[in-house]
Amino acid sequence: MKETSRSCQRKEYLLRKMYDGARALYDFFETMRADRTASPKDIAEKLKTEYGLTSNQQKYLDNVAERTSKAKVIVQYLEHRFGLNDDGTFKDAQGLHKLLFNGKVRKRIKAVSYNFGIGFTQGYWGCDEFLGYKNKVLGGTCLSESPRKTISKLERGINNDCMDIAFHLPSDTRMDRTAAKIYDARTQEEKMLQAIFGGRLSTNPEGLRAQVIDHELKHVIDTIIGDSWHGFFVETPAHMYAGENLDWGLTRDFNRTKKLLTEETQVAQKQIEKDESNPEFPDWLLEMDRKILSNRQRGLERLESEFPEQMNIFRRFRKRRFSRDLSSLEGCRVNSYLFSTMPPEKLFRRINQISFAQPEEVELEEGK
């Protein structure tokens, strides 16, 4: 009995450390967002002590602080080069946008500094399916090299992938119209879930804009965090951070991943058909192509079969043991870092254990 009690206490401790790690990241980025003078390294050191982070968590936070420092140095350089007003807006937003995106600049454009990221508001908006967007950068970004090298490229006008820490929003009028279109396009089931679970889009322009800024800024934060499993969790943590409908974020990630896997499967199938039509194509290469197709088909089947249960786990997690953590915006933001820093398989397993298991049944690994 004593061993069971000690085991229970140990597992409860590991569970708390998992949340301590998420809360440390939340406190870190909230501080960096609000305080222009804050030092990422100093804040990280303070949080290590405050939350008693494990050695793995400390190393993780150190890496996040280093990448945040790079982003902050780059933003400060751009603030100095293009000028910054007292309200945080850039004086030469057009010049800034032209440098980062190397393209045609719209006349009606505004840029705001968020200390480690930049938000653009543009009058022309051709993305009626989105309320905002962050550009995706393939390969290395400005966060994968030294700030000195990045700034040297900026000085020479070389494309340097700094767009990875910037996002775009439409004007208030366009945002309201786009929000109405998105809501009207949702199914009755989605609207019903939204009404039941809350987290709906704000109904006033200022609230809506603040919500979208939070959503897009979380994408920038996740880019800085830089975990490899963002291949699945992309929209879920952003929806949680902004306090939007939580189910909708997970559904968007599922639909996006399903579309990608479907397209990859179709490409593999067409490649096999092409190879089979060539009588001189080596059999061993054809067999490799068939294995690739089989792997992609299994991946798609696994995604489709697992998602309904994953969504149920997610909903139970919100309603049961830690429901109070998701009843406030701060709680949603803290929990969003779990989805930004853990691979899907491990995360769904843990939150399922959290929602249902007795303490002695919870199996958690130390370090995350």
| pLDDT tens by residue, 204-240 | 656 788 999 999 999 999 999 986 555 789 999 999 9
* Angstrom distance (rounded) from CA 157 to CA 143: 18
Closest CA to 332 of 346, 318, 351: 318
Choice between 359 and 221, residue whose per-residue pLDDT is larger: 221
Domain ranges of the chain: 2-361
- Provide the mean pLDDT of the chain: 83
Question: Edge to edge, what strands does the sheet with 166-170 contain?
Answer: 109-113, 118-122, 166-170, 133-134
Closest CA to 235 of 322, 97, 121, 131: 131
Which range in 130-144, 178-192, 276-290 is most confidently predicted, on average pLDDT?
A: 276-290
Q: Which residues, in sequence order, are CB contacts of 141 under 8 Å at separation 6+? A: 161, 162, 164, 223
DSSP state of 89: B
| pLDDT tens by residue, 74-110 | 999 999 999 999 999 999 999 999 999 887 777 789 9
Residue 361: predicted pLDDT: 41
Please report, rounded to a whole number, the percentage of residues in the chain having pLDDT higher than 70.
81
Residue 259: predicted pLDDT: 93
Choice between 187 and 288, residue whose per-residue pLDDT is larger: 288
User: Which residues pair with residue 111 across a beta bridge?
Assistant: 120
pLDDT at 41 over 90: yes
pLDDT at 321 over 60: no
Residue 105: predicted pLDDT: 75
Closest CA to 221 of 119, 112, 326, 325: 119
* Angstrom distance (rounded) from CA 273 to CA 282: 14
| pLDDT tens by residue, 44-72 | 999 999 999 999 999 999 999 999 999 99
pLDDT at 178 over 80: no
Structure tokens at 277: 């039509």
Residue 6: predicted pLDDT: 66
Lookup result for tokens 């007292």: 86
pLDDT at 322 over 60: no
Three-class DSSP category at 120? strand
Give the HSE-up count for residue 346: Cα atoms under 13 Å, Cβ half-sphere.
13
Tell me, letter by letter, the H, E, C secondary structure of 243-293. CCCHHHHHHHHHHHHHHHHHHHHHHHHHHHHHHHCCCCCCHHHHHHHHHHH
| pLDDT tens by residue, 105-153 | 777 899 999 999 999 998 888 777 788 899 877 666 788 889 999 999 9
The CA-based angle 15-21-27, given to 5 degrees, is: 135
Structure tokens at 238: 């952003």
Residue 1: predicted pLDDT: 43
Give the model's confidence band at 37: pLDDT under 50 very low, under 70 low, under 90 confident, else very high: very high
* Angstrom distance (rounded) from CA 209 to CA 222: 20
Least confident interval from 76-80, 183-187, 329-333: 183-187
Lookup result for tokens 């951070």: 241
pTM: predicted TM-score of the whole model, two decimal places: 0.85
Residue 197: predicted pLDDT: 42
Residue 365: predicted pLDDT: 41
Please report, rounded to a whole number, the percentage of residues in the chain having pLDDT higher than 90.
51
Residue 360: predicted pLDDT: 39
Residue 316: predicted pLDDT: 81
pLDDT at 314 over 70: yes
Residue 359: predicted pLDDT: 42
pLDDT at 33 over 90: yes
Residue 224: predicted pLDDT: 94
* Distance (Å) of CA 85 to CA 38, 43, 89, 236: 19, 26, 5, 34
What is the distance between the terminal CA atoms of the chain, rounded to a whole angstrom? 28
| pLDDT tens by residue, 269-282 | 999 999 899 988 89
Choice between 244 and 162, residue whose per-residue pLDDT is larger: 162
Mean pLDDT of 14-37: 91
